Structure 1
Amino acid sequence: MKLNRHEENTDTAHSCCDHDHSDVLVKKHKHNGHDHSHDDDDHDHDHDHGSDDGPGLLQSRWPLWVSLTILAVFLIVSFGTNVVISKPLEIVMMLTAYLLAGYKTIGLAFRKVKRGDLFNEFTLMTIATLGAFYIGEFSEGVAVMIFYEIGELFQDLAVSRSKRSIKALLDIRPDSVTVLRDHQQINAKPEDVKPGETILVKAGEKVALDGILRSESGTFNTAALTGEPKPDTKKQNETVLAGMINSDKTVEIEVTALFRDSKLSRILEMVQEATARKAPTQLLISRLAKIYTPAVFGLALLIILLPFFFVENYSFQEWLYRGMVFLVIACPCALTISIPLGYFGGIGLASRNGILVKGSNFLDVVTRIDTVVTDKTGTLTKGVFKVQQVETEMDKTEFLRITTSLESYSTHPVARAVMQHAGEINLSKPTDVEEIAGHGLKGTVEGREVLAGNLKLLQRFNISFPDSLDAIVETIVVVAVHGKYAGYITIADEVKEDAAETIASLKKLGIETIMLSGDKTVVTGKVADRLGIDKYYGDLLPEGKVAIVQELKDKGKQIAFVGDGVNDAPVIALADVGIAMGGLGSDATIETADIVIQNDQPSKIVSAIKAGKITKGIVYQNISLAMGVKVLVMILGAGGIATLWEAVFADVGVALLAILNAFRIQGKKI
């Protein structure tokens, strides 16, 4: 597999270890409408030959296995039997094994040197192993190359394993779809279906395109989009998204978006581009590599030549050997393997939990957040009106029946909330219905004149009502029957089930919580008090939200902003980490955000922070392990205590430990 790197990262090509798998899924990164994909094979060791699965990787390395067999036979015969292998035969065997194991590394080193890139991992490995051949340590030179290649194989296997959860998303798009055309069922590619056409989705099939359900109802598994396996029942005219699985009967769906414009396609594009943005730690390693690698070569040269002036009985062979050992030990493969792999695993962990992280850098930034600023409607609340309270001196069922009968003639969200609350109550057909703009409805229900609307409606008809109604902050529907006040219904946005738990969890992490809303300050305050939010601001326009977040940033706060509406896009872009509710959120907000929560659950904010902390912790463990062991063995190598065998085992061993440590990310729960 060839890595295609974003333009902004091509300057890292000269790092000591070019095996950067953090962007292994990135095929094309489109920036400002231009295709910045790169196809420079010098940027990758190209181990896997296009195969991502474990068996394919193992089979593609047959030259390595042959090389290992030759080395094993030589060592067994040389040290386990009395047979003496002649020097010419030893050279032929070892040279054959060396070329089989290292021909790609040697070729890549040669191409890089031709390009003027002298200080890289491949040149380092080639010089170290050829140096071993020069001093007559043939088997050690071959072993260094073989174990280096085995380390690379483990790296590729680790990447293959860690990206399965992300690649699983790529397998949920159907290859074909059944379209109704001219009253016939036609099998077509999803790319060929246009908005306005109707598709049939059978039980067990995946929905290929976004659309509106035209059947009476349908039940869908939304786990691919939300991370939650529970079924979601849709009613006629409700939105169905590509990636959902029909778990009931055959349904008809009217397509509303092209295949490439579906929410699922946008999600997959986000995932494929996710690791193109390097995390700060990775960028630091890449920058240090430009200094580290030539410094290592310089030190190795000093180890070889400097003792000539100070050591009696100076032996060039001996000090050349020490210099070669030093070079092998110095190659920071464990770092360059484990760091990208760690962040890649973190993105996979988040993805499995319905959280899309658009870049590994955001896994780092989210761990430094000290203030979470959230929108109210659609973020901490459901954005859906729901009846909160019904107060009347009449029989409550009778009161609801006559009120709902009148409200059934309105399409206002408040009227729909009242009808939903009434449920299965038998309604009467009102007459003489009149809608009074900005006030409410007037009509006759079962011979009784009924008014249903806001307080202004009763004032308009000079109907008295309790003064206490003026203090109610929620949306209120007051009702009068035959010119007399009969009762009221309060309606408010419903708080999400896990909102309070989320705020409590953020406080446990020492994170301040602030809520911004365009709703009335008094309504915003009531929700904030209920959830335990530290500060709140209401009656805000989009520019007001931006001003508050900018003020917080000016104070040195590390801000995560969570929102879902178009009006949240500017402040999401401003925040250090922008988090969008991806289920019901606007396209503009989702595109602008750095992290997208697919099931709209606020608790996933905490999960995203935990994923970042887990990833960062393991990455720093690997850095400490690799550097600690490497410095120790480098000192031993320079002092002549460590041989090439210790060097290769130290390097490969630390790399394997780092890989195994990075694997732990995949098993974590957040």
Structure 2
Amino acid sequence: MKKKKVNLRELKPKSAEVHTHDDGHNHGHSDSSSFDTYIPAIISFTMLIIGIGLDYFDISFFKDWVRIAWYGIAYLPVGFPVIKEGWKSIIRGNFFTEFLLMSIATIGAFAIGEYPEGVAVMLFYAVGELFQNAAVNRAKGNIKALLDVRPKEATVFRDNDYINVSPEEVTIGEKIQVRVGEKIPLDGVLLSDKASLNTAALTGESKPDSLLKESKVYAGSINLESVIEIKVTNTFEDSSIARILDLVQNATARKSKTELFIRQFARIYTPIVVFLAIGVTFLPYFFVDDYVFQNWLYRALIFLVISCPCALVISIPLGYFGGLGAASRNGILFKGASFLDAMTKINTLVMDKTGTVTKGVFKIKEIKAIGWEESQFMKYLIAMEEQSTHPVAKAIMEYKENGDDYDAKEVSEIAGKGLKGIINGKTVLVGNKALMIDNDITIPNETDSLVESIVLVSIDHTFAGYVVIADELKEDAKETITELHNVGVKNIMMLSGDKDSITQQVAKELNIEKAKGGLLPEDKLNEVETLKQNPENKVAFIGDGINDAPVLAASNVGIAMGGLGSDVAIETADVIIQTDQPSKVVRAIKISRSTRKIVWQNIILAFGVKAIVLILGAGGLATMWEAVFADVGVALLAILNAIRLQRMNWS
């Protein structure tokens, strides 16, 4: 059954918008919660209360056609839009909708003289619809908030002047300027010396991001300090924020299996209910001695109201909206509700090392100078490494020391081994063990036990020491492994392209029992495929989204780390962690499980209450008022349960 929002907006200004999504629901913008939207319900409610009061005090003029007309007018503001939608559905060939159920039930109540109940049922149904719509908007609020991140204009340098244009008009390679407090309109490279940016809307992180010249910057970030200049690297359509917006807006289109089942169920369930109601009305004639048509028709009408599948049809997608919104607020993008479900079943996590649990940036871990002062030793080393662009050289260059620098002369690179040069008249060698052996330099045995990358140094034909270079662990890496065990992910495995000794050491430091290094992308894929051969293993892979694309695609759930700027991550992964924090994986699991728990609570609540009241109604023990609770009341309880996801603290 396709459920559409009842058009209770007849008195609403024409400027109001209604957006239709692929699921058949019409959800109003946030303005649907404005006072105007509730005017029809307020009119009906006021007239209903007055009518009940006049009935109670048995006012003489409130009889016959006056009473019928009063309740009829009270019914129209909320009843006419529902009847209208029901008629439209019939014209489209969709006969069995909740609009038809509510129309038959309430018009039937009028036909047997139960005017107040007919108005009350439709009124509560209409109010329930309004609350449901408001709740959907609230649940999707975190996702819709991303739309506000979309920059409206760009200040681009053209013809020796800065002019304001639409971001769509800016081309790659142009220079743009961003003033303090403005949003960066396009992806690019920072031309200014430094910048402080607020990336909270993109990553969920409130801490400002400090960047230096040549750093990548992303559309949607807010400039916090001074005016900056940026060279554009992507068109607006290809910018990170545009891709993220598209991904998040389309996430609700990928339904979970639970959602799809309930929708299919509703299509079958509704016509069955209609025919059962007909049966409740007429079949007792053949089996009951004191059959009274009006009594059994009343029971059938109650049956119809109770069986209306509102609570099921709205509360389940609402639960998933809540989960997707809570995740996006925390810098976690699910590509659909189906992956929220899949994440709840994960019991095996395979992770990359570099860029996932480590920062992917080399740092000096240890300096060992032999026969030299450390500062003097480092001056020789830095003078040599200034000639290199290797990542290890960059790590060494970050070493800061006061005093005059040395100048290296006649520096030559020996392929695969290191550098050779002259400093202060002394021959200096900087490189690996092979370079030292080739030049007859004796190396201490202690270097053999070091598994990290080491840089050996010889000064004036004598071994002068070494520097240990290592990739730093991320601050939350250890905590992540502990928390993963706590949430039931018992099987954790590390696969890395780095050498096996380093991989094993990192795994040991993080208490990961299984680790393999020296792997090519196809080797990682084979390992994951082997794990998946055991049907009990539900495997998630977390990697950087660039060289791990095959494994991300092959896993039950592919998680891309730091995917904000990675095209491959956006395309391949099922879940995207917008920051470089592995602990967000634990948060994603918690959000997924809470979402699924709430969805199933709503299903059980809806079925349980409806089943009880259906039996009571068929037996003549329930009135229209109990029927209203079984429908609208349960729907509202389900809504309140679902919006709890928006209030939970996931830290």
Q: Which of the five TM-score ranges fits, normalised by the shorter chain?
A: over 0.9
**C-alpha distance in 2 between matches for 1:424 and 1:614:** 55
Does the 8 Å contact 2:43/2:77 carry over to 1? yes
Q: 1:304, CA displacement in angstroms?
A: 1.1
The answer on 1:547 being equivalent to 2:523 is no
Does the 8 Å contact 2:353/2:495 carry over to 1? yes
Instruction: Write the letter of the residue equivalent to 1:134.
Output: A
C-alpha change, 1:357 and 1:467, in structure 2 (3 Å) is: same
**C-alpha distance in 1 between matches for 2:213 and 2:21:** 51
The answer on 1:126 being equivalent to 2:106 is no
Does the 8 Å contact 1:401/1:422 carry over to 2? no
Give 3-state SS (helix, strand or coil) of 1:566's partner. coil
Aligned to 2:628: 648
Aligned to 1:23: none
2:410 maps to which of 432, 437, 443: 432
Q: 1:70, CA displacement in angstroms?
A: 2.4
The answer on 1:406 being equivalent to 2:345 is no
**C-alpha distance in 2 between matches for 1:507 and 1:225:** 29
Aligned to 2:201: 224
Correspondence list, 1:260-271, <5 A: 260-271=237-248
**C-alpha distance in 2 between matches for 1:380 and 1:243:** 27
**C-alpha distance in 2 between matches for 1:136 and 1:336:** 31
The answer on 1:453 being equivalent to 2:431 is yes
Instruction: Write the letter of the residue equivalent to 2:647.
Output: G
Give 3-state SS (helix, strand or coil) of 2:497's partner. coil
C-alpha change, 1:425 and 1:416, in structure 2 (3 Å) is: farther
Aligned to 2:458: 480
- The size of the alignment, in residue pairs, is 635
Aligned to 1:302: 279
The answer on 1:494 being equivalent to 2:494 is no
Give 3-state SS (helix, strand or coil) of 1:555's partner. coil
Which digits, 9 at most, give the CA deviation of each residue in 1:38-91, with x for residues without a partner?
A: 9699934x463xx323543x4134333322232222222222463441322222
Does the 8 Å contact 1:626/1:654 carry over to 2? yes
Instruction: Write the letter of the residue equivalent to 1:307.
Output: P
Aligned to 1:142: 119
Correspondence list, 1:597-608, <5 A: 597-608=577-588
**C-alpha distance in 2 between matches for 1:423 and 1:605:** 40
Aligned to 1:629: 609
Q: Structure 1: give runs of 5+ residues left out of the alignment.
A: 1-13, 21-37
Q: 1:534, CA displacement in angstroms?
A: 2.5
Does the 8 Å contact 1:582/1:600 carry over to 2? yes
Does the 8 Å contact 1:151/1:652 carry over to 2? yes
Runs of 4+ aligned residues of structure 1 deviating over 6 Å after TM superposition are 38-42
Give 3-state SS (helix, strand or coil) of 1:567's partner. coil
**C-alpha distance in 1 between matches for 2:22 and 2:119:** 25
Aligned to 2:16: none
1:161 maps to which of 126, 131, 138: 138
2:24 maps to which of 32, 36, 43: 43
More displaced stretch, 577-586 vs 592-601: 577-586
Give 3-state SS (helix, strand or coil) of 2:361's partner. strand
Q: 1:517, CA displacement in angstroms?
A: 1.0
**C-alpha distance in 2 between matches for 1:210 and 1:425:** 40
Which digits, 9 at most, give the CA deviation of each residue in 1:492-551, with x for residues without a partner?
A: 211111111100111122211111111112211111111011311222211211111111
1:205 maps to which of 171, 178, 182: 182
1:74 maps to which of 47, 51, 67: 51
**C-alpha distance in 2 between matches for 1:42 and 1:84:** 49
Does the 8 Å contact 2:240/2:565 carry over to 1? no
Aligned to 1:395: 373
Aligned to 1:515: 494
Does the 8 Å contact 1:463/1:485 carry over to 2? yes
Instruction: Write the letter of the residue equivalent to 1:105.
Output: V
Q: 1:185, CA displacement in angstroms?
A: 1.5
- Normalised by the size of structure 2, how large is the TM-score? 0.94
More displaced stretch, 160-169 vs 498-507: 160-169
Q: CA RMSD in A?
A: 2.0
Q: 1:153, CA displacement in angstroms?
A: 0.2
Aligned to 1:530: 509
**C-alpha distance in 2 between matches for 1:653 and 1:174:** 42
C-alpha change, 1:358 and 1:291, in structure 2 (3 Å) is: same
More displaced stretch, 98-107 vs 401-410: 98-107
Identity of aligned residues (%): 52
**C-alpha distance in 1 between matches for 2:221 and 2:594:** 30
Give 3-state SS (helix, strand or coil) of 1:416's partner. helix
- Normalised by the size of structure 1, how large is the TM-score? 0.91
C-alpha change, 1:595 and 1:400, in structure 2 (3 Å) is: same
More displaced stretch, 64-73 vs 486-495: 64-73
Give 3-state SS (helix, strand or coil) of 2:531's partner. helix
Instruction: Write the letter of the residue equivalent to 1:390.
Output: I
Q: Structure 2: give runs of 5+ residues left out of the alignment.
A: 7-18
Which digits, 9 at most, give the CA deviation of each residue in 1:474-501, with x for residues without a partner?
A: 1111111011111111112111111111
